[in-house]
Amino acid sequence: MNVASSRIKEFGVEDRVEIVARDMREIDYREEFDGAYMFFTTFGYFSDRENIDVINRLSRALRAGGRVLIDLWNPARTMHIAYEYGGHVNRWFEAGEYIVLEDSSHDVLNGFVRVKRIYVDKESRRIVAERVFKVRVYMPWEVREIFEGASLKVLRFLGDYSGGEYSPSSVRMIVIGVKT
């Protein structure tokens, strides 16, 4: 919350922004917002029933005509990676002051990716954290169905943050919708 608070002050919008830290499965707003945004694969970490409930709650929180943007892993690309590497991928990348070692298993029959990440401090070379998670990778038609069930209409699928068209090789699947 400190980073968010700093950014709010930096942009001078303290009087228009309220920070709320809450489990997305528990939000209970009613037609209060003009937009809702879920960046960097923050959707898909629960059961299908819970994920659908999150979208229903998000829809209830929007006013009519409110926009929604959800950033997801591109399922076509994820499936290609699973195929290319036999369903199992080991890689590493740098993130700030950490080297991240990642081991992922792709369950294409059930639409999940299971990931184990080990965070190594660049300077000390010590392991500072380990995270294990499972994320549901939804196909475009599944997202459209979930949206429609929640009174949301999909306007566009994008493939990146520059507004590029979605394709099977896009890194992301960014879904833009509107409350009907």
Of 82, 79, 73, 85, nearest to 170 (Cα)?
73
Q: What pTM was computed for the model?
A: 0.86
What does the pLDDT read at residue 20? 81
What does the pLDDT read at residue 1? 55
> Left (φ > 0), alpha (ψ -120 to 50) or beta: where does 87 sit?
left
CA 37 to CA 58: how far, in whole Å? 9
Letter for the amino acid at 175? Answer: V
What does the pLDDT read at residue 81? 85
Angle, alpha carbons 29-49-157 (nearest 5°): 75
CA 99 to CA 95: how far, in whole Å? 6
What does the pLDDT read at residue 65? 98
Count the Cβ atoms, other than its own, within 10 Å of residue 73.
18
Q: Are 123 and 97 in contact (CB under 8 A)?
A: yes
Query: What residue spans define the domains of the chain?
Result: 80-136
Mean pLDDT of the chain: 94
Of 70, 77, 79, nearest to 154 (Cα)?
70
What does the pLDDT read at residue 22? 87
Residues of the chain with pLDDT under 50: none
